[in-house]
């Protein structure tokens, strides 16, 4: 019986899949099985998977396209390991990823273990500096992380390992996006999180087919998740926390739409100010925007 089930979901990522699989098969910790869910790919994903058909560690399941939540849940339903590690087919693991994370489950109050990530674009160029610019709310946290998780999802999905018994019915199949953030929020109510302070995964961003391109849909899903969560669990939060949370939320929306849709950005800025966002944040943001082109010329 494997200690860890690795759930890999793939939709038209056949060109990434072999490298992804190799990064798992070459782990220093070998007590795992792989459940590969092909969510109705129309590319050569099946051909790539067929190359590994002789490996007893891998179980390949093909289904009609049903979306990421159902694909991941299919993997969970087939899992035999006491721990489930998630990996998207366009990402990669470092060879010691499983070994270092399994060791942290010695604390029986820890429900989720993750790691830092190395971010790259479609061509392999480093994006870490750009990601770090999003600020303190993406800083990894350990212990009881609920207040921090509400501000932002700082768990890179392909780094996450979870006790299988905590996954219940799996991810919310009504959501198109942000399914992991919702899961982490509810787990952080009662379980501790821990992390390996190393970049144990390589996370690809910005390539074609990636769902995160649809930012408006991501915002819509995130708003629905937050609204429902606060409706049920506001009593678990300190007084004044909600105000800071919404100030931060609308401040980030303002930044995102600043150049894309200025009129929309102004509406978000008004909301952020209404929740008493730190004025210094606004000044610093505007300074970076205005001084950026000047610095480039100098």
**Tens digit of pLDDT for each residue in 212-237?**
558 899 999 999 999 999 999 999 99
**In which band, very low, low, confident or very high, does the pLDDT at 296 lie, cut at 50, 70 and 90?**
very low
Structural tokens at position 42 = 């129309």
**In which band, very low, low, confident or very high, does the pLDDT at 125 lie, cut at 50, 70 and 90?**
confident
The confidence score (pLDDT) of residue 41 equals: 98
β-strand partners of 119? 203
Structural tokens at position 161 = 């390992």
The confidence score (pLDDT) of residue 136 equals: 67
Contact 111, 195 (CB under 8 A): no
Does pLDDT of 295 surpass 70?
Answer: no
Contact 196, 98 (CB under 8 A): no
The confidence score (pLDDT) of residue 264 equals: 94
The confidence score (pLDDT) of residue 209 equals: 57
The more confidently predicted of residues 257 and 126 is 257
The whole-chain average pLDDT of the chain stands at 91
**In which band, very low, low, confident or very high, does the pLDDT at 292 lie, cut at 50, 70 and 90?**
low
Does pLDDT of 35 surpass 70?
Answer: yes
Q: Classify the phi-psi angles of 207: left when phi > 0, otherwise alpha if psi is within -120 to 50, otherwise beta.
A: beta
Instruction: List, for residues 254-282, the tens digit of each pLDDT value.
Output: 999 988 999 999 999 999 999 999 888 88
| Cα–Cα dist 174/122, whole Å | 29
The confidence score (pLDDT) of residue 208 equals: 56
Does pLDDT of 130 surpass 70?
Answer: no
**In which band, very low, low, confident or very high, does the pLDDT at 122 lie, cut at 50, 70 and 90?**
confident
CA-only gyration radius of the chain, Å: 20
Structural tokens at position 62 = 């093909």
Structural tokens at position 148 = 């921090």
The confidence score (pLDDT) of residue 298 equals: 32
**In which band, very low, low, confident or very high, does the pLDDT at 205 lie, cut at 50, 70 and 90?**
confident
| Cα–Cα dist 263/275, whole Å | 19
- The beta strand positions in the chain, using DSSP E, are 4-10, 32-39, 58-63, 83-88, 92-93, 110-120, 161-163, 192-204
The confidence score (pLDDT) of residue 297 equals: 37
Instruction: List, for residues 166-187, the tens digit of each pLDDT value.
Output: 999 899 999 999 999 999 999 9
């Amino acid at each position: 019986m494997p200690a860890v089930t690795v759930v890999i979901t793939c939709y038209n990522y056949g060109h990434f899949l072999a490298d992804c699989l190799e990064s798992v098969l070459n782990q220093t910790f070998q007590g795992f099985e792989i459940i590969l869910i092909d969510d109705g790919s129309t590319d050569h994903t099946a051909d790539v998977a067929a190359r590994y058909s002789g490996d007893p560690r891998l179980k390949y399941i093909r289904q009609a396209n049903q979306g990421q939540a159902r694909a991941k849940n299919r993997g969970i339903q087939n899992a035999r390991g006491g721990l489930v590690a998630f990996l998207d087919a366009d990402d990669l693991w470092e060879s010691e990823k499983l070994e270092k994370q399994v060791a942290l489950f010695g604390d029986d109050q820890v429900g989720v273990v993750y790691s830092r990530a190395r971010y790259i674009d479609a061509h392999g160029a480093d994006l870490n500096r750009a990601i770090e610019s999003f600020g303190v709310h993406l800083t990894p946290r350990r212990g009881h992380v609920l207040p921090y998780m509400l501000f932002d999802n700082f768990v890179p999905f392909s780094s996450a390992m979870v006790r299988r018994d905590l996954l219940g019915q799996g991810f919310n199949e009504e959501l198109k996006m942000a399914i992991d953030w919702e899961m982490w929020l509810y787990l952080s109510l009662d379980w501790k999180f821990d992390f390996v302070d190393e970049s144990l995964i390589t996370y690809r961003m910005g390539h074609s087919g990636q769902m995160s391109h649809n930012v408006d849909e991501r915002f819509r899903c995130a708003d629905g998740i937050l609204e429902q969560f606060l409706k049920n669990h506001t009593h678990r939060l300190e007084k004044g926390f909600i105000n800071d949370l919404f100030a931060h939320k609308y401040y980030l929306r303002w930044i995102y739409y600043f150049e894309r849709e200025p009129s929309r950005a102004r509406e978000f800025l008004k909301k952020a100010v209404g929740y008493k966002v730190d004025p210094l944040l606004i000044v610093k943001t505007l300074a970076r925007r205005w001084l950026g082109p000047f610095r480039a010329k100098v």
